[in-house]
Structure 1
């Protein structure tokens, strides 16, 4: 069907074809389903709801529940989107469809001012699954950003960018934008007299292994360079944006330093020999554990154009 072929590239033309198809095959479930999905792509939210509900009545099954919920959200009814997630049909969804519905419900919670509840809804999926699924990781990162937690959001946008091999999201652009924000916040928190970061400086904590740490992709390790505007990457296991907190104990990767002998220093005709050095180093944190195509169309996150 021409409408389905044009849905992504030219949704308005596709919507015209879909209405023509409905006029000829309005009693066929697959036609009504296709019309509903094309209407969704074209931003015809009310039409999409009507067509998808008609298709579900004709063909049975849970239908495109995530798309229906996102349409309700786009129409300004986030509470209806949440209600759909509690319906009997939601229990019949497969794993991919459950992920899509969860991202919509989390966004609906945020629309109602319940951002923390939205985060909790996504945390029903373990961190590894969130890191592997680009849309799930992106939704989680977006809510962290909306909750005023930019350093954590940056970490999760990086993971979403690594997982998004098809570039269905703008995760990489969000990484670049947030790296600048986090870097700027670190500079502002630095002590102007000593140049050392104050207690309020932001740090990107790496709790899960980076999926793309050894593949040349954007990883947590690139954040330090992005924030500093150099593009240089830090080590692959831990990233800190900005200088280390004042008073941090210096460490070294080269093993323990020799302990100076206790007792009086040896003397000679030429004066005392030198004392022990004061070498410094940087420590590495242990990486945590490392963080699916769907037959249903990907939810557009209609409230912000994603």
Structure 2
């Protein structure tokens, strides 16, 4: 019995070993199958990615080819003549007596950054604009605008258009051009005109802000006075009449002064005095302005006479009412 049991045990153990070994062999085969499938998947994925990369690369190359500059067809003589004809048609006609040499030397120096022929063309239109600004502002604007189309990066050209637009009452265009000049030159030479254009567009607060933020020590005396006049006008627009009068008082406001800006300053002071209801003082300062205005650039004498006549008429009316 004992021998038979031992044999049975050994036989069972052998069966179990065979079963274990068979299971291990199956696991190894399964693992190898999984490994092969993973390898096939990886190869397939690499192939797919490679295909996409290749397609993308080909597409990129096509895009780059599409972006390459293509050679331009040479312009024919006929096309050049047609372009010149269009340009001549667009250009306003220049007066016969216009010469490039009529320009100020400083302006000509700035225009020398352009090719010679273009500089002379632009310069002549600037001369025409300056000559027409008083008698025909719209024609002057045409010449200044044409000059800008030919040399928009030259500050003196933009300045010319800005000043002509200002004198023509085109406030927005004047503001745009003179702001551009300010950025290009980093100069506040035209700050008073810029502020006055803001005021003309109904923005007196902006005019006052410009006057406050500007470093007046960097301005010429004439520009300082003009900016003070504009700021006083802006205060008046805001109803600050007494402040407008006071803001113009200072060492330059002396009746005996005869500086280039004295007539303008006296006139502005008189104008604000009248607005504040101080008409007798206004008459006197209009007279002071008329005396300082050697070039007759203002109507100060007429304003003084009108106010004096108005005051006399009021006195006469008052006297007749008291007699009654």
**TM-score class normalised by the smaller sequence:** 0.5 to 0.7
Q: How does 1:75-114 map to 2 (within 5 A)?
A: 75-114=201-240
The match for 1:49 is: 175
Query: Relative to structure 1, is the Cα distance of residues 189 and 63 closer, same or farther in structure 2, using a 3 angstrom cutoff?
Result: same
Listed as ranges, the gaps of 5+ residues in structure 1 are 195-306
The match for 1:173 is: 302
- Which of 164, 176, 193 aligns to 1:67? It is 193
Give the whole-Å Cα distance in 1 for the aligned partners of 2:238 and 2:231: 11
Give the whole-Å Cα distance in 2 for the aligned partners of 1:17 and 1:105: 32
The match for 1:233 is: none
Query: Relative to structure 1, is the Cα distance of residues 78 and 155 closer, same or farther in structure 2, using a 3 angstrom cutoff?
Result: same
- Which of 245, 249, 266 aligns to 1:123? It is 249
**C-alpha contact 1:84 1:90 (8 A) present in aligned 2:** no
Q: How does 1:172-251 map to 2 (within 5 A)?
A: 172-190=301-319
Query: Relative to structure 1, is the Cα distance of residues 126 and 57 closer, same or farther in structure 2, using a 3 angstrom cutoff?
Result: closer
Give the whole-Å Cα distance in 2 for the aligned partners of 1:134 and 1:74: 22
Give the whole-Å Cα distance in 2 for the aligned partners of 1:131 and 1:185: 32
Computing the radius of gyration from Cα coordinates, the structure with the larger value is 2
Give the whole-Å Cα distance in 2 for the aligned partners of 1:153 and 1:124: 17
Listed as ranges, the gaps of 5+ residues in structure 2 are 1-125
- 2:254 alignment partner, SS class: helix
Q: Structure 1 residue 89: deviation in Å?
A: 4.2
Q: Structure 1 residue 172: deviation in Å?
A: 1.4
Deviations 1:213-262 (A, max 9, x none): xxxxxxxxxxxxxxxxxxxxxxxxxxxxxxxxxxxxxxxxxxxxxxxxxx
Give the whole-Å Cα distance in 2 for the aligned partners of 1:131 and 1:190: 38
Deviations 1:63-92 (A, max 9, x none): 301100110010000111111111234431
- Which of 274, 277, 280 aligns to 1:148? It is 277
Where relative contact order (Cα < 8 A, 6+ residues apart) is larger, the structure is: 1
The match for 2:267 is: 138
Give the whole-Å Cα distance in 2 for the aligned partners of 1:72 and 1:131: 30
- Which of 141, 147, 156 aligns to 1:15? It is 141
Query: Relative to structure 1, is the Cα distance of residues 162 and 38 closer, same or farther in structure 2, using a 3 angstrom cutoff?
Result: same
TM-score normalised over the length of structure 1: 0.60
More helix by share: 2
The match for 2:109 is: none
Give the whole-Å Cα distance in 2 for the aligned partners of 1:130 and 1:152: 16
**1:25 matches 2:151:** yes
CA RMSD in angstroms comes to 2.0
**Residues paired across the two proteins, number:** 195
**C-alpha contact 1:130 1:136 (8 A) present in aligned 2:** no
**C-alpha contact 1:106 1:118 (8 A) present in aligned 2:** yes
- 1:128 alignment partner, SS class: coil
- 2:294 alignment partner, SS class: coil
Give the whole-Å Cα distance in 2 for the aligned partners of 1:91 and 1:126: 16
- 1:127 alignment partner, SS class: coil
Give the whole-Å Cα distance in 2 for the aligned partners of 1:145 and 1:58: 40
Q: Structure 1 residue 126: deviation in Å?
A: 4.4
- 1:139 alignment partner, SS class: helix
Give the whole-Å Cα distance in 1 for the aligned partners of 2:186 and 2:310: 48
**C-alpha contact 2:171 2:197 (8 A) present in aligned 1:** yes
TM-score normalised over the length of structure 2: 0.57
Query: Relative to structure 1, is the Cα distance of residues 99 and 171 closer, same or farther in structure 2, using a 3 angstrom cutoff?
Result: same
